[in-house]
């Protein structure tokens, strides 16, 4: 198996990536397992932050690295929380506080549309001149009352009308098929099969 550093310490993301990358013979390990600190994420776009994280993890480990930058964009809030989704309510990052702030800011507005964004970047090395980059969206609506115990982040409040479920009510296997991260990883896997 080829080792691959995941530029994240998020247990939820690690679980999803391990399941989706296992068929490609990648052993996914987090940067934290290798004692690598988190990269700075100063950029305004998901792609730039993901690229910075991937290069940082690869430079520190000497291994290929995979990074994602993902978040939720509420249409009524001009795309907020966007790239600061994980820290929307401030530090330390807290899912409950982030959800409460999002619901509060949307308030009684009739526009409840939102989409998750996932930017995935794979680099063979820190100086890789041709990183593999994928960005995808998953559309839904924000609901006030959270439902479900699966998933993480904003999943209990992210409702998919055609499924009549929140992301947190979905079976993890089904979620991996339709989510922003699942879509992005499938696209990335297709590129990995050709380029790596």
Angle between helices 180-195 and 11-21 (to 10 degrees): 50
- For residue 77, give both structure tokens: 């809030």
Asked about 155 being catalytic, the answer comes back as no
Of the candidates 119, 116, 194, the one whose C-alpha atom is nearest the C-alpha of residue 151 is 116
Burial-class residue 94 by CB neighbours within 10 Å (0-12, 13-18, 19+): middle
Place of tokens 């397992």: 33
User: Which of 68, 69, 95, 155 is labelled catalytic?
Assistant: 69
Task: Please list, residue by residue across 23-47, b when 16 or more beta carbons sit within 10 angstroms of its beta carbon and e when fewer do.
Answer: eeebebbbbeeeebeebebeeeebb
Task: Please give the positions annotated as active site.
Answer: 69
């Amino acid at each position: 198996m080829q080792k691959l550093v995941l530029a994240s310490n998020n247990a939820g993301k690690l679980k999803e990536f391990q399941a989706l990358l296992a068929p490609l013979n990648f052993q996914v390990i987090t940067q934290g397992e290798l004692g690598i600190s988190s990269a700075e994420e100063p950029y305004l776009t998901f792609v730039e932050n993901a690229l910075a994280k991937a290069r940082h993890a690869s430079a520190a480990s000497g291994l290929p690295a995979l990074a994602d930058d993902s978040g939720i964009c509420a249409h009524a809030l001009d795309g907020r929380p966007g790239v600061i989704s994980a820290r929307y309510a401030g530090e330390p990052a807290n899912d409950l506080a982030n959800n409460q702030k999002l619901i509060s800011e949307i308030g009684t507005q009739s526009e409840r549309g939102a989409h998750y964004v996932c930017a995935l970047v794979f680099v063979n090395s820190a100086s890789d001149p041709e990183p593999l980059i994928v960005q995808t969206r998953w559309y839904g609506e924000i609901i006030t009352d959270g439902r479900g115990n699966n998933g993480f982040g904003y999943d209990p409040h992210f409702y998919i009308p055609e499924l009549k479920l929140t992301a947190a009510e979905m079976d993890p296997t089904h979620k991996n098929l339709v989510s922003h991260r699942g879509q992005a990883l499938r696209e990335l896997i297709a590129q990995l099969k050709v380029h790596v």
